[in-house]
Amino acid sequence: MELTSAPISFIDSSHIRELVHDKNLTETEKLKEMSRQFEGIFLRQFLNEALRPMVKGYLDESGSSNDIYRYFMTEVLADSMSQRGSIGFSNILQTQLQGALSPAETNNNE
């Protein structure tokens, strides 16, 4: 499984299940990807609200096109930002959670 190959879907948790059960990844690699995905979820929530006024001004507010456009724009921005580590939330979360792994789990499969 290649990490960060596809946009994270807020609703679809199948990628997370695959990640958890992937025997080819170390616990550290899994933790890194899960932290990135959590950052993506956080960014989606933030961007969904932050972009609402901007999108509202350009599209018909009563139509579904407004919601669809904002959804896709939010998805692409959040995924791009989380892959780049733009806000650093993933790194902070990963550092905090790394201490919870035992040394054996950290070196697992390396």
pLDDT tens sequence across 63-92:
677 777 778 888 999 988 888 887 888 888
Q: Round to whole Å and give the CA distance between 40 and 25.
A: 20
With contact defined as beta carbons under 8 Å apart, do 4 and 29 qualify? no
The full DSSP string for 19-32 is HHH-TTS-HHHHHH
**Tell me: the pLDDT tens digits for 34-69?**
888 888 888 999 888 888 777 665 555 666 777 777
Q: Phi/psi of residue 12, each to 5°?
A: -80, 115
